[in-house]
Amino acid sequence: MQNRFKRTWLIPVLPLLAIALYYLPPIHSRLAWRLDNLRTRIVYLIKPPDEAVFQPGGETSLTIETVIATTRAEYALTLTPQATSTPNLGPTPTPTITTTPLPATVKLDGVKYEDQHGRTNYCGPANFSMALTFWGWDGNRDVVGQAVMPGNTSKDGLPINVDKNVMPYELQEYIAGNVPNMGSVLRYGGDLNVVKTFLAAGIPVLVEKGIHELDLSNRVSWMGHYAFVTGYDDAQQMIIYQDSYHPAGAPPGPNRKIPYNEFVKDWRAFNYVFIVVYPKDRENTVMDLLGELANEETANHHALKVAEEESVNLAGEDRYFAWFNTGTSHIALLEYIDAATAYDQAFAVYATLGGDNTTRPYRMMWYQTGPYWAYYYSGRYADVINLANTTLEDTISEPVLEESLLWRGRALYMAGDTQSAINDYRAALKVHPKWGPAVQALQDLGVQP
Cα(229)–Cα(244) distance, integer angstroms: 12
Question: Around Cβ 140, how many Cβ atoms within 10 Å?
Answer: 16
Which string of b and e fits 181-191 if b means at least 16 CB within 10 Å?
ebbbbbbbbbb
> For residue 336, what are the CA distances in angstroms to 1, 81, 331, 332?
76, 19, 6, 9
Three-state DSSP at 107 gives: strand
- Answer whether the bond into residue 251 is a cis peptide, omega within 30°: yes
Gyration radius of the chain's alpha carbons = 23
pLDDT of residue 367: 97
DSSP string of 187-251, one letter each residue: ESS--HHHHHHHHHTT--EEEEEEEEEE-TTSSEEEEEEEEEEEEEETTTTEEEEE-TT--SSSS
Contact 135, 277 (CB under 8 A): yes
Task: Of 319, 293, 304, 240, give the one whose Cα is nearest residue 271.
Answer: 304
| pTM for the full predicted model | 0.84
With residue 309 as reference, give the H or E element that holds it. helix 296-313
pLDDT of residue 141: 96
Question: Dihedral of CA 354/373/403/174: which sign?
Answer: positive
pLDDT of residue 162: 78
pLDDT of residue 155: 54
User: pLDDT tens per residue, the chain (449 residues)?
Assistant: 555 545 555 556 555 555 555 455 555 445 454 555 555 556 556 668 888 899 999 766 444 333 333 333 343 334 443 333 333 333 334 444 545 789 999 999 999 999 998 888 899 999 999 999 999 999 999 999 999 998 876 555 555 667 889 999 999 999 999 999 999 999 999 999 999 999 999 999 999 999 988 776 677 889 999 999 999 999 999 999 999 998 677 778 999 999 999 999 999 999 999 999 999 999 999 999 999 999 999 999 999 999 999 999 999 999 999 999 999 999 999 999 999 999 999 999 999 997 666 789 999 999 999 999 999 999 999 999 999 999 999 999 889 999 999 999 999 999 999 999 999 999 999 999 999 999 999 999 999 88
Three-state DSSP at 366 gives: helix
Cα(144)–Cα(122) distance, integer angstroms: 10
The CATH number of 41-75+318-444 is 1.25.40.10
| Domain ranges, ordered by start, for the chain | 41-75+318-444, 83-300
The values of phi and psi at residue 240, to 5°, are: -110, 125
The bridge status of strand 105-107 relative to strand 182-187 is: unpaired
Contact 426, 417 (CB under 8 A): no
Contact 274, 205 (CB under 8 A): yes
The CATH number of 83-300 is 3.90.70.10
